[in-house]
Chains A and B, each alone.
Chain A
């Protein structure tokens, strides 16, 4: 019989307590939502502290709390260091966020920009990529919730996953982006304090020398700086992170919801706060062999080690930190994805004359539907979290060049941008299956970049930035 760090009832008590508190908070915040703009973009009036906290907290997700240890367990030191380079996504998005706010002061979504800048063909490709990514991330987050509870308390995967999904759908449904950002602020505080506590306890309890000795003797590859798969993974992870942030409406909707002149500073601060977190969470996995912990599935390694070292009190800290990290990303993605569907598909294609109230109602139905579909896709537990996320890397990395060039340069036109995203994705997928998950984003970005370069060389027409100003009904 397995002994878990937390008994099932304690875990259930914590999770249900948190769920009720967050939903009540969402309902309270939702009172201020009078229009669809309030619901979807928090009235475009988010200040610096909340903006920086939401940027950091949203990026601390199952990626950092569960996948960073997983990749460290699989790829060693490079897995940990390489993962922290994903902070570059937030740092490099800072100037872009300023530009986005400048070019699209009344914009709603990243899809708005692609449609107006590149036209329908590129927009169609972009929407497919966004949907695949959104579901990949949503499913990985839902799965992470279930895995976390199972690893720490033995609670059935399906029950844990269902409660976390229901909670995030619940408070986002009532509070919209305002609730998402406010809960992110609190969750960011919990994450920073919790990670600092875990790091201190780990260094105090498990010496660095003993970990190094064990790894050198029994798992030398994890310390090898020329570990081939890990070397391949390094830039792949950077491009995956850049693709995730550059294309996703999660980050665009934040840029558009922040007050003028806040976006740049907020993303820089968020990136710098985020940078050390994967190093701490990844380090946890390096201690595993020394502690005699070999997980059933690599994505269970973080919680398993932390709870083993820190005991029951530590397990509760780990549980709350990871739970907060998951919730802060899951709610953001649910809100941003439902905005994208509402604005780009419902409002632009299905009901062009929809009233503000109709948009708000559709947005809420959409949230419910997304939550339900995510729940269905989480049921089969199809892959490890790392593999699932990196599959999406083949898609999102293809959008990096079209977005960067599209924001700053006039020469790239829609056909080439659409082709770059489609061909980049296909090439990335071929690399994913032919070589491995650690090269998919790199290949996708390279192919997309080559096609964009050809587009810039061959196109002579200059795009007019005024075409981005779309009248609102």
Chain B
């Protein structure tokens, strides 16, 4: 069976892995995630839910990850796939956060002052 994953860099730490033509005999299916192509260290072993043909993985830090499918400790995927996670830079996130906070504060001031003005006019 063949695995497929995101073709571009993952920017938010979560992604979907799909697999084609999984025979019933290969269920339950597991995905092994490792940081090396040789799978010396397994970071995660993920059970695939039911008989779905995809799984959503999450919570990854920036780095390169290799993923393969197993059934009863036997590797059943043709090849391991490589997924690169590269989070947005923190400065970019914090800049947007600060713009958001400023914008929200301005909105709050506009709304409260407008409301007070309307109440006074009543």
Contacts and interface: CB of A to CB of B under 8 A. Distances in A.
Interface of A: 1-4, 73-76, 92, 95-96, 99, 102, 215, 218-222, 226-229, 231-232, 234-236, 238-239, 242, 289, 292-298, 304, 400-401, 404-405, 407-409, 436, 438-439, 442, 445-446, 449
B24 to A, nearest CB: 8
B111 A75 contact: no
Contacts of A401: 107
9 contacts: A3-B50, A75-B12, A220-B59, A221-B58, A228-B87, A294-B57, A304-B49, A408-B118, A436-B12
B59 A218 contact: yes
Contacts of B114: 404-405, 407-409
Contacts of A219: 58-60
Given A74-B12, A228-B90, A229-B12, A235 B110 contact: no
B47 A292 contact: yes
Contact of B103 (A73, A95, A404, A446): A446
Contacts of A297: 16, 54, 56
A239 B43 contact: no
Interface residues of B, number: 49
Contacts of A99: 115, 118
Nearest to B110: A404
Contact of A236 (B24, B90, B100): B100
Contacts of B50: 2-4, 296
Contact of B56 (A1, A232, A296): A296
A95 B115 contact: yes
A292 B108 CA distance: 43
B106 to A, nearest CB: 7
Interface string B52-87: 111111111100000000000000000000000001
A293 B55 CA distance: 10
Contact of A294 (B48, B61, B90): B48
B53 to A, nearest CB: 8
Given A231-B93, A298-B56, A218 B44 contact: yes
B94 interface: yes
B100 A235 contact: yes
Given A1-B51, A294-B56, A404-B110, A228 B89 contact: yes
B87 to A, nearest CB: 5
B61 A221 contact: yes
A376 B62 CA distance: 40
Given A235-B96, A235-B101, A404-B110, A289 B12 contact: no
B42 to A, nearest CB: 10
B99 interface: yes
A401 B110 CA distance: 9
B90 A295 contact: no
A75 B97 CA distance: 15
Given A73-B14, A442-B99, A228 B59 contact: no
Nearest to A408: B114
Given A2-B50, A75-B12, A95-B115, A445 B93 contact: no
B87 A229 contact: yes
B58 A298 contact: yes
B51 A2 contact: yes
B11 interface: yes
Nearest to B117: A408
Contacts of B52: 2, 296
B58 A73 contact: yes
Nearest to A70: B56
A238 B88 contact: no
B13 interface: yes
Contacts of A296: 49-50, 52-56
A163 to B, nearest CB: 22
A295 B55 contact: yes
Given A226-B93, A228-B89, A293-B49, A234 B100 contact: yes
A16 to B, nearest CB: 24
A232 B14 CA distance: 15
A67 B88 CA distance: 23
Given A238-B104, A408-B114, 20 more contacts: A2-B50, A2-B51, A76-B59, A92-B111, A218-B44, A220-B59, A221-B60, A226-B90, A227-B13, A228-B90, A235-B101, A238-B100, A289-B59, A294-B46, A294-B55, A294-B56, A295-B56, A297-B54, A404-B111, A449-B106
